[in-house]
Amino acid sequence: MSVIRQLIDLLFITSNYTVNKAFFIVVFYENKNNSFTI
């Protein structure tokens, strides 16, 4: 579990802006199409 956490932390450190932007786009797209609240 701690290994996964380290990988996630590393991912956000190395590409924080790209990941957050992509995540926001995906969440917005899913919410718009399926009306899900995340």
Boundaries of every domain in the chain: 2-33
pLDDT of residue 23: 82
In three-state form (DSSP H/G/I as H, E/B as E, the rest C), the secondary structure along 1-38 is CHHHHHHHHHHHHHCHHHHHHHHHHHHHHHHHHHCCCC
- R_g over Cα of the chain: 13
pLDDT of residue 34: 66
pLDDT of residue 8: 80
Q: Tokens 């932390």: give the residue.
A: 9
pLDDT of residue 35: 60
pLDDT of residue 25: 81
pLDDT of residue 36: 54
Prediction pTM value: 0.34
For 1-38, the pLDDT digits (tens) are 688 888 888 777 777 677 778 888 888 877 776 665 55
